[in-house]
Amino acid sequence: MKYLFIHVLGYWVMDHTFRVVEQVPFSTVSDYKTADKLRSKLIKKYPDLQPLPLEKSYVVLELLKNPKYFEELHERNVLLTKQGIKAAVSEDWLIMQAIANVNELDRVTNLLVKRLREWYSLYFPELAIRIFSNEKFVDLVISRTKSGLITELKVKETMGADLNDSDVEEILLLAQQTRGQYRLREQHEQYLRRVMQAYCPNLMELAGVTIGAKLIELGRGLKNLALLPASTIQLLGAEKALFRHLKTGSQSPKYGILFSHPLVQKARLKDRGKVSRALADKLSLCARLDYFKGGFKANEYKKELEERFSHE
């Protein structure tokens, strides 16, 4: 009976008394990673070869206590760690980073638009009163002059001050930067759509790009999301409300980020909890189909949900 022990530094073959019969060091970490091929070759040489029992691994580990192995052992382990980290980067992390930046862009853009509205109101306050869409407001500030806006909005007399060109240029500079934030967000959404279409098409189809990406972010990856029960998916994004309910006995939340899904938004107020439960159930199935590489059934689920709640 022969025993085999494979280590990052090499391999050892021992006889039935656990005496070393053959010892071969690995020249690179790649040799260690192809240990299965090595094992197949050694079995041809030693037909009765078996893995070294765990309780007997100390025999080789005693040999590795020699200081001459320390530096090489450290270098190999660092290299293996780096390669492991490199291999761990997946679509999950790309989606999480992109949607996290979308959230940051939303927060920053809202602050910038608020400042732009206040600043531009010194110049032409009627525009902020008439235009409620922030993105449209930014586009009008950039593309129209004050006189053009007065004519377009049919303002007889504006309350805005007559600012110098240099002052208006600073306002326009802020507007251009803000529009750039909107454009960057659109590009991120297009990128998310491409990645998710290939990685999790069922989840993207039923949840949408933004909500689907946020579910992956909150679930810490598609695998974890696929393993979560539907009741947990329903409350993703409502953790604070849930903990408040558990601590104080306040009303329990009925939905988290699913609140912004069109199906939930279209439902009557009293039915939103029921809709979000049904939606979470289908999203759980979609996540499992995507992770375990099942078929594409999101369209069926969406049609089923729409037909079910269109009559209520």
53-78 pLDDT per residue, tens: 888 888 887 878 888 878 888 888 89
274-309 pLDDT per residue, tens: 999 999 999 999 999 999 998 999 999 999 999 888
| Through-space distance between the first and last CA atoms of the chain, rounded to whole angstroms | 73
189-235 pLDDT per residue, tens: 999 999 999 999 999 999 999 999 999 999 999 999 999 999 999 99
pLDDT number for residue 311: 59
Alpha helix positions (H), the chain: 29-33, 35-45, 58-63, 70-88, 91-121, 125-130, 134-143, 146-152, 165-199, 201-207, 209-219, 222-227, 230-234, 239-248, 262-266, 272-291, 298-310
126-158 pLDDT per residue, tens: 999 999 999 999 999 999 999 999 999 888 888
230-273 pLDDT per residue, tens: 999 999 988 787 788 778 878 878 888 999 999 999 888 888 88
The two three-digit tokens of residue 92, written as one number? 């999950």
Give the rounded percent of residues in the chain with a pLDDT score beyond 90.
55
Predicted confidence (pLDDT) at residue 312 exceeds the cutoff of 70: no
pLDDT bracket for residue 113 (50, 70, 90) = very high
Domains of the chain: 2-88 (3.30.420), 91-191 (1.10.287.4070), 201-310 (1.10.246.90)
Q: Which residue has the tokens 């979609």?
A: 286
The total of other beta-carbon atoms located within 10 Å of residue 295's CB is: 8
